[in-house]
Amino acid sequence: MRLFFTELKKIRHRYIWLVYAATFTVIFLWLGWCVVDMDSYGIAGQEYFYLLLSLSLMNSIFLPIALACAASRLCDIELKGNTFKLLCTMQPRHSIYHIKLFVNSLYLLAFSLAETALVPLLGHSLKASQPLPAPHICIFFFTTFIVSLVLYILQQSLSLVSGNQLFPLFLGVGGTFIGIFSAFFPSQAFFFRLLPWCYYMIGCPINMYYESSTRETTYFEIPFPTGAFLGFLLFGILLYFLGKTIFMKKEV
């Protein structure tokens, strides 16, 4: 707990929470604008499916950049002040890596819960005729939190070992473009399953079919890709151990 409160004091003027609050606000405003004319798009009775798919796409667009910014702001205090050698004389080096990961995990948990709560909240305010799909909402929460956590581990590891924070930030921007492109291809495509930024869409339990002749959109359920996600979790675990090992061996 001492390390936890110490880390909170170090970042109290870094406004990490503002990164996630701004991301949540943009997503909320964009989604609110999209659902104003929901009936005009012919999706009455599919409102919750529309919300879940839209949020997954917005996460693919905004969260890679937000996670890169959060990791950079969490890590550049020690990097700018070159205080790793001093810190390592007072606490184990691995605790620096772990406490930053734990603090951001709390932010991610709060963000994922708030975003998941948007689905029933907007559905209720719009008097959605579709029954609340509780299992799909739980899958959305699980996907949002786990994918964000793995991507943050990647960004934090890069931020801690990089002398220049531009590279981790550019990687987050690149992840955004990859996530956007993945929305236009089948989630079963093997190539996109190799890219971690695509898993916001891969883990979404909803897909859609657009009939151009009638301009009608049909949303439908798809099975959760358990095998792909187990591989993704294994990738996240390996990434954690690799990032921590490289940081432990970094010259300070």
Query: Which pTM value belongs to this model?
Result: 0.91
Task: For residues 36-52, give the mean pLDDT.
Answer: 74
Q: Which residues pair with 218 in a beta bridge?
A: 209
The average confidence (pLDDT) of the chain is 84
Q: Is the pLDDT of residue 40 over 60?
A: no
Rounded Cα gap, residues 120 and 126, in angstroms: 10
Q: Is the pLDDT of residue 251 over 70?
A: no
Rounded Cα gap, residues 237 and 224, in angstroms: 21
Is residue 39 very low, low, confident or very high in pLDDT (cuts 50, 70, 90)? low
For residue 83, the model assigns a pLDDT of: 65
Under 8 Å between Cβ of 205 and 221: yes
Q: Is the pLDDT of residue 88 over 70?
A: no
For residue 165, the model assigns a pLDDT of: 76
Under 8 Å between Cβ of 43 and 50: yes
For residue 139, the model assigns a pLDDT of: 95
Q: Is the pLDDT of residue 41 over 60?
A: no
Task: For residues 158-177, give the mean pLDDT.
Answer: 84
Report the Cα 92 to chain-centroid distance in Å. Answer: 29
- Other Cβ atoms less than 10 A from the Cβ of 208: the count is 14
The residue with greater pLDDT, 77 or 168, is 168
Under 8 Å between Cβ of 205 and 222: yes
Residue 56, φ and ψ in degrees, nearest 5: -60, -40
Which of 11-20, 136-145, 190-199: highest mean pLDDT?
136-145
